[in-house]
Amino acid sequence: MDINKKEKIISSFPLNYREAELNIIISKEEYSVFQNGIYSGSMDEKWNVFTLNNVIAFARSWTSNCIFKILTEEYHHSVLLRSFQVNRDSAQYKGGNLEEDAVLLKKLLQMFLKRDDLYV
């Protein structure tokens, strides 16, 4: 995905959103998974995930609607996933419970990073 498409997806994130702390530390190697991008290869895969500046964006593969943005802080050997924002435009995302959204996001992170300790 080119930079223009990434910028378009992130800039379309609505002003109507909720934010919550995440405070998860990952390694630079794990972060590179998102920097390299995760892009759907078929209609069965629901997410495109990529980084732009200090944001990890989770966009729906069919619509390109940005549902989650994770705000990050890079350090020498690690990256802090500080907080996340979740889309609250009901035309783009039907979620309405911040705790359930946090669980979904942690499950996605766990799956993409191949870890089993982010959501128990």
The answer to whether 26 and 73 have CB atoms below 8 angstroms apart is no
Q: Does some domain include residue 119?
A: no
Integer CA distances (angstroms), 95 to 3, 52, 102, in order: 28, 24, 11
Q: What is the tens place of the pLDDT at every residue in 39-49?
A: 998 878 899 99
Output the domain CATH number for residue 83: 3.30.530
- pLDDT tens readout for residues 66-110: 999 999 999 999 999 999 999 999 999 998 899 999 999 999 999
What is the span of the domain harbouring residue 35? 3-113
pTM: 0.94
Q: Which two tokens stand for residue 49?
A: 């995930």
In a domain, 95, yes or no: yes
How many structural domains compose the chain? 1
118 located within any domain: no
Question: What residues have CB less than 8 Å from 41, skipping those under 6 apart?
Answer: none
